[in-house]
Structure 1
């Protein structure tokens, strides 16, 4: 450990653990079954981990679910970011943040 690094800095890249991936993948599976999403990507990073979902392969991400541990004591480490970069929901509880996908506007209409 370097003397220059703050004591509370993460050691290595930020990523999702299994308890965090389970609810994310449940939402993803539900949206794939509804025909809304088709692909995903997971990206670890130095400061944040990202789960990006795509409507079609090759498109820009429709939504990004981001984990940023440095914000856990402030605004909350979880956020859902929309296509235009706007933060749709932010908080400390992943299940609460993922409820943004339960809203009526995400229902598929035949």
Structure 2
């Protein structure tokens, strides 16, 4: 991205927020802190002030696909707006480092996928 005159002299996180409007400022500050934003091929800090003709590069992390898995989920209540689950002890809620599968989210993904196509 190339900074234009009307975008001159604002903080980099504010500038990126306008570009990536679906992401919150906290997410944007984290990608800057993780070293995923460069200005003019230089790694910058979150308080960097953009200038006219700055070239900004953003390297967004890849989103992981949730794999549906057939897990036993103890449903307590469900309607068209809400689902209440009695989560068993020890069941990890969402995939993360060291727990890529067999999580509540994987099971719910399977449950709703199965419901939609049956």
Of structures 1 and 2, the larger Rg is shown by 2
Normalising to structure 1: TM-score of the pair?
0.23
The one of the two structures with greater contact order (alpha-carbon pairs below 8 A, sep at least 6) is 2
Normalising to structure 2: TM-score of the pair?
0.22
